[in-house]
A = this chain, B = another copy of it.
């Protein structure tokens, strides 16, 4: 991988994290920070992705209830993953309105705390511990790169890395077909996602308010990558590194392989965000 990119790469393998993604960090930080009385009423989310499993695990760790609102047509693997971790699933219609309404109803009925998947300072701080650990493990870096979805991981990464290494370059990557964060960072106006359509399903979310502020303040460079580059980078990591990463995790690798950001000869930290994929539907297989 170093030869292909022309840099010295240090990967933080969050695909090997509990629940298969970095999301376990933010969920634990948010859940463990709750006051005793508030925590006792449980937590809730209407995200059905990696955050749902992460919140279920964090709640189980603290011994409280996690209520997970999911569309009735959610993939069986996601339902099973939440169930195995002890999350209480509430099914709803597959619209964002129905999901928000179902979550609000649980908050009203139980006094449970809604833990947002990314637009929450405690969640963002938790995600930043991946960069902290990487820097503690391998020392000084010239640059660090992560993919951007809602901005939770990128925001936390930026804060942690800049604090520990003031001279580090903070780099972001996003699919060109879901580039709302890129456009927001460039323009200074938080832009909504316009029909994001990318194989990197974890990055279809719109940049959050906190993420927007942190990216504007701390990012040094930002690359967008094609769907083909994402698939090629994902496959290369599987083949060469022998680890399973999901398409979202390949986005930062794709940015480096494409040469969209100059890191020649540098020491670069790369956050591989997760490894939750459907092994029956791999993106390099003919449809």
Beyond A242-B275, A243-B244, list 7 extra A-B contacts (CB 8 Å). Answer: A238-B244, A239-B244, A239-B279, A242-B244, A242-B245, A279-B284, A285-B285
A282 within 8 A of B: yes
A137 within 8 A of B: no
In the bound complex, residues from chain B placing their C-beta under 8 Å from that of A20 are: 242
Mask: chain A, 247-287; 1 = CB below 8 Å from B; 0 = not: 00000000000000000000000000001000110101100
Q: Does the CB pair A242–B242 fall under 8 Å?
A: no
Chain B nearest CB, measured from A240 CB (Å): 9
Q: Does the CB pair A282–B279 fall under 8 Å?
A: yes
A127 within 8 A of B: no
In the bound complex, residues from chain B placing their C-beta under 8 Å from that of A284 are: 279-280
In the bound complex, residues from chain B placing their C-beta under 8 Å from that of A244 are: 238-239, 242-244
**Which residues of chain A from 115 to 165 have a CB within 8 Å of any chain B CB?**
none
Q: Does the CB pair B16–A242 fall under 8 Å?
A: yes
List residues of A whose CB falls within 8 A of some B CB.
15-16, 20, 235, 238-239, 241-245, 275, 279-280, 282, 284-285
In the bound complex, residues from chain B placing their C-beta under 8 Å from that of A282 are: 279, 282
User: Who on chain B is nearest to A272 by CB?
Assistant: B242
Chain B nearest CB, measured from A248 CB (Å): 14
Q: Does the CB pair A279–B242 fall under 8 Å?
A: no
Alpha-carbon separation in the docked complex, A135 to B20 (Å):
27
In the bound complex, residues from chain B placing their C-beta under 8 Å from that of A285 are: 280, 285
Chain B nearest CB, measured from A16 CB (Å): 6
In the bound complex, residues from chain B placing their C-beta under 8 Å from that of A242 are: 15-16, 20, 243-245, 275
In the bound complex, residues from chain B placing their C-beta under 8 Å from that of A15 are: 242
User: Who on chain B is nearest to A17 by CB?
Assistant: B242
Alpha-carbon separation in the docked complex, A285 to B285 (Å):
10
User: Who on chain B is nearest to A21 by CB?
Assistant: B242
In the bound complex, residues from chain B placing their C-beta under 8 Å from that of A241 are: 16
21 pairs from A and B in contact (CB 8 Å cutoff): A15-B242, A16-B241, A16-B242, A20-B242, A235-B279, A238-B244, A238-B279, A239-B244, A239-B279, A242-B243, A242-B244, A242-B245, A242-B275, A243-B243, A243-B244, A244-B244, A279-B282, A279-B284, A280-B285, A282-B282, A285-B285
Among A239, A280, A282, the one with the most B-chain Cβ atoms within 10 Å of its Cβ is A239
Alpha-carbon separation in the docked complex, A241 to B244 (Å):
9
Alpha-carbon separation in the docked complex, A242 to B275 (Å):
6
In the bound complex, residues from chain B placing their C-beta under 8 Å from that of A238 are: 244, 279
Chain B nearest CB, measured from A60 CB (Å): 14
User: Who on chain B is nearest to A77 by CB?
Assistant: B239
Among A239, A242, A244, A285, the one with the most B-chain Cβ atoms within 10 Å of its Cβ is A242
Alpha-carbon separation in the docked complex, A245 to B242 (Å):
7
